[in-house]
Amino acid sequence: MNTTDQILTKPAGDAATRQGDAGGNSEPAVAVKDLHKSFGSQRVLNGVSLSVPQGQTLAILGRSGTGKSVTLRIIIGLEKPDSGSVQIQSEDITGLTIDELSDVRKSMGFLFQHAALYDSLNVEQNVAFPLVHHKRDMSKAEQRERVMELLGDVGMEKHSQKMPADLSGGMQKRVGLARALVLDPKILLLDEPTAGLDPISSAEIDELVLKLQQEHQMASIVVTHDLHSAKTIANRLALLDKGEVVIEGTFDELEKSEIPFVKDFLKHS
Amino acid sequence: MTRQENAGLSIQPIPQGAQDSLPVELEAPSGNPISEFLAWFGNLGIFFWQVVRAAVTPPFEFAEFFRQMDEIGSKSLPLVALAGAATGIVLSMEARYSLTRFGAKSLLPAAIVFSVIHETGPIITGLVVSGRVGAGIGAELASMKVTEQIDAIEASAVNPYRLLAATRILACIAMLPLLTLAADACGVVAGWFAQALAEPLSFHQFINSGFKGADFNDFLPPTFKTAVFGSIIGLIACYQGMSTKGGAAGVGRAATSSVVLSSLFVILADVVLVKIILIFFP
């Protein structure tokens, strides 16, 4: 059985088993409290509170349009909440200016749903982008070495000179993941890392995230529709509906829940 | 945590200063063109403030600034030179006909030179650049916006106002006067060429006669007013691009509106600047 098969057949209890692997009782790396957000008359978040300790992974699940991605964008400061607070490493970031936010963002990596690679830069330049802007003391050779090391980690070192338009969706996600990791972040945010990918590519991305997560001991938040992926890579899961957290816990706790929405969601996943 | 537990948490107000963290967007009731214009103008002002704040604080993006100077300046040069030359030829033909009718043919070189350096050179440069560069910046930034590349820049802890907008606006400001010099030079030379074809006249004689009585006040203010045109083109194109919404249609709208609005505001600014120049440099 190869690695991909192993992941596809991983037992359901894995997420629960890994709970508390690292830093379970420490100060949360990410803590959002009572987030409210509306776009015009449409209320998207209605009091979302979540926290993730260092070294653990939280998967946010839910139907489309329930505010999962918005929560992630608020955490990294791309959207401003109407009310509520976001704490990164115990620092409240909701009141920071864009340049003050930059200091916090250096400790965070973000993988966008469609990878959001810079289409005028090749793969190597895309991954090097944060280094070029934040590690000006690094020589070009050191930057290249770091970039190639990460591209090797995600299996893209042979494609370093390709342009994003020449890559498949899965390859773009890998490059996006390498770019998210290049500054060695303490917090990793992943927006639908397996969306639009075939089952094998999805499993490969899951495997990669899990491996990197274990190597770097980051606090991670993964937004996904894919329950299997969530079960594979996350310690805990939070289920959102209509802008609220319906339930948060391990996969086993979700399975045992008597809340009709939770049962319905698990049944159709 | 259950839904019921969530509902028990108190709402915390956004701390002081949160309003500065991201650009505020003014919204106008749709269908009211005056309100929509005022909201657009207000948002443009907020955007301008964000760009100014980013431009004057380190780190400075010199590499991107020089790349944009090349993109905006060098690559606009052929078009600006051609437009300037065409204007010089047309001016020469039209002025020759009019001045001959009124018995003032000897004033032809001065009429061409003064027309080109005072008005036609600067305004032609402004309009040509607003077409080429305005559309280019608007479409490029809009495309980056709808594909989340601008969000990715921000998520990488790089200020997009500094990297994308400030560099382009400053490059426009720096390059417009230089492009105007090129348009002026091409206009004068082409004007002489058209004149010489109709009636033999040496270039030396043409220049001597054309610049007789001219001083720096005839030359510097009209040339440097195009720096204002550059700021208008850069600001409007960057704003339209970075604030676009929607997919391919949004990119198209951003490109079109960048050209239309920057051309319109260049013409309006020219009216005001000509009056100011006439007051301060009579």
Three-state DSSP string of B177-235: HHHHHHHHHHHHHHHHHHHHHHCCCCHHHHHHHHCCCCCHHHHHHHHHHHHHHHHHHHH
Of A94, A130, A259, the CB nearest to B156: A130
Lookup: tokens for B98? 């009019």
DSSP state letters, A226-266: -HHHHHHH-SEEEEEETTEEEEEE-HHHHHH---HHHHHHH
pLDDT bucket at A21, cuts 50 / 70 / 90? very low
pLDDT surpasses 50 at B202: yes
- What is the arithmetic mean of pLDDT over A41-59? 92
Lookup: tokens for A151? 């591209």
pLDDT bucket at B25, cuts 50 / 70 / 90? low
- What is the arithmetic mean of pLDDT over B25-35? 72
Note whether A245 contacts B1, CB cutoff 8 Å: yes
d(CA A259, CA B1): 12
pLDDT bucket at A20, cuts 50 / 70 / 90? very low
d(CA A73, CA A39): 14
Whole-number average pLDDT of chain B: 88
Helix (H) or strand (E) holding A139: none
Chain A nearest-CA distance from B239, in A, is: 17
pLDDT surpasses 60 at A41: yes
Q: What is the pLDDT of residue B102?
A: 84
- Are B164 and B238 a contacting pair, CB within 8 Å? yes
What ipTM goes with this model? 0.87
pLDDT surpasses 80 at B191: yes
Q: What is the pLDDT of residue B14?
A: 35
Q: What is the pLDDT of residue B261?
A: 96
pLDDT bucket at B30, cuts 50 / 70 / 90? low
d(CA B107, CA B117): 16
Of A83, A92, A112, the CB nearest to B152: A112
pLDDT tens column, A212-265: 888 888 999 999 988 888 988 899 999 999 899 999 999 999 988 889 888 888
**For A95, which residue in chain B has the nearest alpha carbon?**
B18
Residues of B in contact with A114 (CB under 8 A): 147-148
Lookup: tokens for B7? 């509902």
**For A81, which residue in chain B has the nearest alpha carbon?**
B14
Q: What is the pLDDT of residue A26?
A: 62
- What is the arithmetic mean of pLDDT over A100-123? 93
Residue A220 DSSP one-character state? E
Best of B20, B21, B64 to disrupt the A interface by mutation (most A CBs within 10 Å)? B21
Q: What is the pLDDT of residue B105?
A: 79
Query: Which residue from A29, A230, A223, A206 is spatially nearest to A112, judged by alpha carbons?
Result: A223
d(CA A39, CA B76): 41
d(CA A44, CA A241): 10
pLDDT surpasses 60 at A123: yes
**C-beta neighbour count of A39 within 10 angstroms:** 10
Q: What is the pLDDT of residue A139?
A: 94
pLDDT surpasses 60 at B8: no
**For B7, which residue in chain A has the nearest alpha carbon?**
A47
Of B1, B21, B27, the CB nearest to A101: B21
- Are A19 and A52 a contacting pair, CB within 8 Å? no
Chain centroid offset of residue A241 CA: 19
Residues of A in contact with B57 (CB under 8 A): 99
pLDDT bucket at A195, cuts 50 / 70 / 90? confident
Q: What is the pLDDT of residue B117?
A: 93
Q: What is the pLDDT of residue A97?
A: 85
Lookup: tokens for A29? 């790396």
Q: How many CA atoms lie within 13 A of A82 on its CB side?
A: 14
- At A56, give phi and psi (nearest 5°): -115, 165
Whole-number average pLDDT of chain A: 86
Q: What is the pLDDT of residue B73?
A: 92
- Most confidently predicted of A215-219, B18-22, B59-63: B59-63
- At A84, give phi and psi (nearest 5°): 105, 175
Note whether A84 contacts B12, CB cutoff 8 Å: yes
Residues of B in contact with A97 (CB under 8 A): 17, 20-21
pLDDT surpasses 80 at B26: no
- Judge if the upstream peptide bond of residue B59 is cis by omega within 30 degrees of 0: yes
pLDDT surpasses 70 at B58: yes
Chain B nearest-CA distance from A114, in A, is: 8
Residues of B in contact with A102 (CB under 8 A): 157-159
Chain A nearest-CA distance from B149, in A, is: 5
d(CA B181, CA B175): 10
Q: What are the strands, taking DSSP E only, across B155-259?
A: none
pLDDT surpasses 80 at B3: no
Angle between helices B108-115 and B203-210 (to 10 degrees): 70
Q: Identity (one letter) of the amino acid at B121?
A: G
Note whether A244 contacts B50, CB cutoff 8 Å: no
**For B10, which residue in chain A has the nearest alpha carbon?**
A34
- Are A56 and A236 a contacting pair, CB within 8 Å? yes
Q: Is B56 exposed, middle or buried (0-12, 13-18, 19+ CB in 10 A)?
A: exposed
Residues of B in contact with A179 (CB under 8 A): 152, 156
pLDDT bucket at A18, cuts 50 / 70 / 90? very low
- Residues facing A88 on adjacent strands: A30, A91
pLDDT surpasses 60 at A19: no
Residues of A in contact with B154 (CB under 8 A): 77-78, 98, 105
Lookup: tokens for A267? 């049944």
Among the ranges given (A257-266, B22-31, B107-116), the one the predictor scored with the smallest mean pLDDT = B22-31
Residues of B in contact with A99 (CB under 8 A): 54, 57, 159
Q: What's the Cα-to-Cα distance from B211 to each of B115, B142, B222, B242, rounded to whole Å? A: 12, 45, 15, 45
Please indicate whether residue B164 or residue B4 has the higher confidence score (pLDDT): B164
Note whether A133 contacts B11, CB cutoff 8 Å: no
Note whether A245 contacts B59, CB cutoff 8 Å: no
Radius of gyration of chain A (CA): 18
- Say if strands A42-53 and A28-39 run parallel, antiparallel, or are unpaired: antiparallel
- Residues facing A32 on adjacent strands: A50, A86
- What is the arithmetic mean of pLDDT over B145-168? 95
Residues of B in contact with A245 (CB under 8 A): 1-3, 6
pLDDT bucket at A140, cuts 50 / 70 / 90? very high
**C-beta neighbour count of B2 within 10 angstroms:** 15
Residue B22 DSSP one-character state? S
Of B3, B21, B151, the CB nearest to A98: B21
Lookup: tokens for B280? 């301060």
- What is the arithmetic mean of pLDDT over B116-122? 94
pLDDT tens column, A146-157: 999 999 988 899
pLDDT tens column, B228-265: 999 999 999 999 999 998 888 999 999 999 999 999 99
Radius of gyration of chain B (CA): 24
Order of strands across the sheet that contains A108-111: A108-111, A187-191, A219-223, A57-62, A236-241, A244-249
Q: In chain B, what percentage of residues exceed pLDDT 70? A: 89
Chain B nearest-CA distance from A104, in A, is: 8
**For B20, which residue in chain A has the nearest alpha carbon?**
A97
Note whether A78 contacts B151, CB cutoff 8 Å: yes
- Are A56 and A26 a contacting pair, CB within 8 Å? no
Q: What's the Cα-to-Cα distance from A23 to each of A20, A53, A218, A248, B109, rounded to whole Å? A: 7, 6, 10, 18, 83
- What is the arithmetic mean of pLDDT over A133-145? 93
Note whether A110 contacts B15, CB cutoff 8 Å: no
Note whether A116 contacts B152, CB cutoff 8 Å: yes
Q: What is the pLDDT of residue A23?
A: 42
Domain ranges in chain B are 80-280
Chain centroid offset of residue A44 CA: 20
